[in-house]
Amino acid sequence: MIKAGIIGVTGYAGQELFSLLLNHPEVEVSFVTSRSYGGKPLRQVYGNYFNITSVNCKDNYLDFNNLDLDVLFIALPHGLASEIITQEFIRKFKIIDLGADYRFKDNKVYEDWYNTEHKNTSLLKYAVYGLCELNRELIKNSSLVANPGCYTTCSILSLAPLVKEGVINNRSIIIDAKSGVSGAGRGVNLNTHYAECNESVKAYKIASHRHTPEIEEQLSYLAKENFNIVFTPHLVPMNRGILVTAYAELNKELDYDEVKSIYEKYYKYEHFIRLLPKEVFPNTKWVKGSNYIDINFKIDKRTNRIIVIGAIDNLVKGAAGQAVQNMNILFNLKETTGLKRIPLFP
């Protein structure tokens, strides 16, 4: 059995991760921690675990040197993982960080967009960006995996084949994205109070969202050139889900079958990527609770643009599910192990 620990179990992503690991046939959860609920049973924090688990939340500040672990998941706000992780840790066990601290190779990009100093830049060279479908081979040999963000997972996977094949003008990319409220985390925030966000849709962090450089960096690796995108996120009054609508100019005229063949070239055998039939477009309700991403596109011949739509559950494929998928790759397990949830409906 794989011995796993979770730091930050009482955030939305942390508890989703615990739920997945609790039902994973190859994993034993050795311990979980919480900054806010140290010493309390998890079932008191989340009533869905009543009579299911008796695990208690430990305080975050453990003596990690004495832990008998195979993999450590870190589900903390940005800036904290780089304080915790040391080179000695990554020699002892695998680390999967659900935060942003190790997603960028250039620490200046991280510090500029997150307005904080990176506490351990020496480990950036060891980190692998954990977008499983694109970096599988790199992940296999890694000890430090940077789990991607939710907007980024949906945006990058939706556009990657087009960027890789060079069929779009990369500098024309516009991403309009919408997220459920759980994407903002469990902390108290006026903008996510019921009366503030119910029956309303709003754009936020316009031209300044922290996932922008993450999307740009990863797409630039595929394109082998640097470029900027326009990314605008929106908050919608639902618990879960990311819907990305991306627009780009085509470099040449293409028909539906030609573009579909490009997507199939990269994704035909990817279990968690569902390429939908023609004229059937992604909807967050059909991926809710699952590790799937649904993708489809439409060519607008009038403007010579392609419109790509992707949908994921932000807490699963956008966070905890992808973290488990990364763990499965690290330990040479079938990637679907522990991730066979059928999307929840209604």
DSSP collapsed to 3 states, the chain:
CEEEEEECCCCHHHHHHHHHHHCCCCEEEEEEECCCCCCCEHHHHCHHHCCCCCCEEECCCCCHHHCCCCEEEECCCCCCHHHHCCHHHHHHCEEEECCCCCCCCCHHHHHHHHCCCCCCHHHHHHEEECCHHHHHHHHHCCCEEECCCHHHHHHHHHHHHHHHHCCECHHHCEEEEEECHHHHCCCCCHHHCHHHHCCCCEECCCCCCCHHHHHHHHHHHHHCCCCCCEEEEEECCCCCCEEEEEEEEECCCCCHHHHHHHHHHHHCCCCCEEECCCCCCCCHHHCCCCCCEEEEEEEECCCCEEEEEEEECCCHHHHHHHHHHHHHHHCCCCCCCCCCCCCCCC
- Residue 101 is predicted with a pLDDT of 96
- Same domain for 198 and 258, yes or no, is yes
- Same domain for 105 and 216, yes or no, is no
Q: Is 132 a catalytic residue?
A: no
Mean of pLDDT values over 284-313: 98
**CATH number, residue 170:** 3.30.360.10
- Determine, yes or no, domain membership for 338: no
- Same domain for 140 and 201, yes or no, is no
CB 220 within 8 A of CB 264: no
Q: For the ranges 186-190, 293-297, 320-324, 325-329, which has the lowest average pLDDT?
A: 186-190
- Same domain for 270 and 294, yes or no, is yes
Give 61's pLDDT tier (boundaries 50, 70, 90). Answer: low
- Determine, yes or no, domain membership for 337: no
| Mean pLDDT, all residues of the chain | 95
- Determine, yes or no, domain membership for 345: no
Q: Which residue of the set 57, 132, 150, 154 is catalytic? A: 150
Mean of pLDDT values over 308-336: 98
Report the alpha-carbon distance of residue 326 to residue 136 in Å, rounded.
Answer: 8
- Same domain for 305 and 156, yes or no, is yes
* Residue 189 falls in which region: left (phi positive, over 0), alpha (psi -120 to 50) or beta: beta
pLDDT over 80 at 60, yes or no? no
Give 234's pLDDT tier (boundaries 50, 70, 90). Answer: very high
User: Cα dist. 249→68, 167, 172, 303 in Å?
Assistant: 52, 9, 6, 8
- Determine, yes or no, domain membership for 7: yes
Give 345's pLDDT tier (boundaries 50, 70, 90). Answer: very high
- Residue 59 is predicted with a pLDDT of 85
- Same domain for 191 and 204, yes or no, is yes
Q: Which residues pair with 335 in a beta bridge?
A: none
- Determine, yes or no, domain membership for 63: yes
- Residue 260 is predicted with a pLDDT of 98
- Same domain for 264 and 171, yes or no, is yes
pLDDT over 80 at 73, yes or no? yes
- Determine, yes or no, domain membership for 124: yes
Domain of residue 304 covers 151-313
- Determine, yes or no, domain membership for 335: no
**Sheet-wide strand order for 305-312:** 202-203, 230-235, 174-179, 242-249, 305-312, 293-300, 273-275
Report the alpha-carbon distance of residue 185 to residue 204 in Å, rounded.
Answer: 15
- Residue 190 is predicted with a pLDDT of 77
- Same domain for 52 and 187, yes or no, is no
C-alpha radius of gyration, the chain, whole number: 20
pLDDT digits over 21-34, tens only? 999 999 999 999 99
**CATH number, residue 323:** 3.40.50.720
CB 240 within 8 A of CB 182: yes
Report the alpha-carbon distance of residue 303 to residue 236 in Å, rounded.
Answer: 29
- Determine, yes or no, domain membership for 21: yes
- Same domain for 235 and 292, yes or no, is yes
- Residue 339 is predicted with a pLDDT of 98
- Residue 188 is predicted with a pLDDT of 67
pLDDT over 80 at 342, yes or no? yes
- Same domain for 178 and 98, yes or no, is no
- Same domain for 109 and 96, yes or no, is yes
* Residue 101 falls in which region: left (phi positive, over 0), alpha (psi -120 to 50) or beta: alpha
- Residue 49 is predicted with a pLDDT of 94
Report the alpha-carbon distance of residue 154 to residue 243 in Å, rounded.
Answer: 8
Mean of pLDDT values over 59-85: 86
- Same domain for 156 and 128, yes or no, is no
Report the alpha-carbon distance of residue 252 to residue 169 in Å, rounded.
Answer: 10
pLDDT over 70 at 315, yes or no? yes
Q: How many domains does one find in the chain?
A: 2
Q: For the ranges 174-188, 207-221, 263-277, which has the lowest average pLDDT?
A: 174-188
Mean of pLDDT values over 178-206: 86
